[in-house]
Chains A and B, each alone.
Chain A
Amino acid sequence: MTRLWSTGTSISVQSDALMTPLTFTWQGQTHRVHKIAKRWRVDQDWWQQRIWREYFKLTTRTGLLVIIYRNLLTGNWYLQRLYD
């Protein structure tokens, strides 16, 4: 299953100049990104409350497969899916 946090769970991320995540910290554990499998953006609901996110599907050196996103409006990072 993927564990899904409907509105995302907050994480802290270290990224490079292109805002590509390099590491993220979740539940006190830091995970170094191994590979970015996919990267995409979602921009919708501009007429209500705009949802503008950049998603990353990535694997980590700790063996996780996750989807994280950056809220492009606030700059905050969230973990949304953990494959299990």
Chain B
Amino acid sequence: MDELEALYRQHGAALLLFASTVSGDRTGAQDALHQVFLKLIENGGLSRAVDKKAYLFACVRNAVLNGSHLQRRKITIEPDSIWFDPPDKDYAAERNLRRALNALPRDQREVVVLHAWGELTFSQIGDLLTASSNTVASRYRYALDKLRESMYPKENSCAGSST
């Protein structure tokens, strides 16, 4: 149980973000995340999982997809729910990012969240989504381009100031 609590502390934020991007419903995502961890505690942990982090993302994805009515590609994001703590408390940029993520197709959105914030490799994501690493990498590049297009003015200024 201690291991699971440590994993929850370590990856909980990324897992919740991933669940939110899949479901679009923050409360539902939170419930799914709790459900996954409580089930794992009940079943005695993650001893059988080889790649524990990837396994957790897969569990959360399954829980969200099984527990929700969404089989559709487009999700409606709750306007008041905040997903990120933005740099410099720039909540307008946070909203832009959420909107840009929402505008992506689900397969691209999943890939970008898993790689950028979940810190999974393309290979791990490929296993999780049953796609090849090349396909995943390609989806990621498309997703980045679209996000950049959506957020360009803000991104340009921030990225420019950081270098």
Q: Do A and B come from one complex?
A: no
Binding site for A on B (CB under 8 A): none
